[in-house]
Amino acid sequence: MTLGERIRKAREQAGMTQDQFSLLVGVTKGAISQWESDKTAPRYKVLPAIASATNTSVSWLLGDAPDGFREQSETDFTSAEGQTDAVKAIPVYAQNEALPDDFFIRNNGTYKIPCPRQLVSVPGVYAVRVVGMAMSPRYENNETVIIDPQHSLEMNDYVAAAIRHAHGQAQIILGRLVRNDKAGLILKQLNPNVTLHFPDRDVVAIGFIAISSVIF
């Protein structure tokens, strides 16, 4: 098998889509597709991330080990303390989903995906599936974006805000941050170009969009 064929086999054996795999490895879905079709090859320094995400080894990916999957390997990523990093799953919420106020504490989205490696140590990370074209072309319908709730926010950051409606449940809205203070939250959307105003009492949570599955 070629390197691309091994990457595809490992990903499929791990039960991941290209979208999920790209988020875990920290590259775009397009890069995964290019690798798996042998149009390009990942840099050598990325191979340990691929091996760790798919429970294989760098040696196996390169064809230097028997055709099988390992349980433990020296090619696992290790932390500063020398402990192997486990794959962390994060919840995914749809934009049109009605959520309780404590949704980000319950940690039980519609489904879960692997957490991108660069955010594994950040508490409370979650993902949002984009519904609709309000933020197109930056974020497209059915795209998945990853939210870092610990990141400090600045004007013009792209954010996901959970807004409480009259019926008591919250809904996630994406937008570019214009203002967020005691006077309320103001977001700007792209398609159409509109400004949304929300009173501070209705803002349940707001987080920074750290990663999207399509990079502009």
- What one-character DSSP code corresponds to residue 175? E
Question: pTM to 2 decimals?
Answer: 0.61
Q: Which helix (H) or strand (E) holds 194?
A: strand 193-198
**Can you tell me the distance from the alpha carbon of 123 to that of 84, in angstroms, rounded to the nearest whole number?**
18
Q: What is the residue whose two structure tokens read 């954010």?
A: 159
Checking if the pLDDT of 161 tops 70, the result is yes
Contact 62, 34 (CB under 8 A): no
Domain residue extents for the chain? 3-61, 89-212
CATH no. for 89-212: 2.10.109.10
The confidence score (pLDDT) of residue 108 equals 63
DSSP count for the chain of H helices, then E strands:
6, 9
Topology (CATH) of 3-61: 434 Repressor (Amino-terminal Domain) (1.10.260)
pLDDT level of residue 193 (50, 70, 90 thresholds): very high
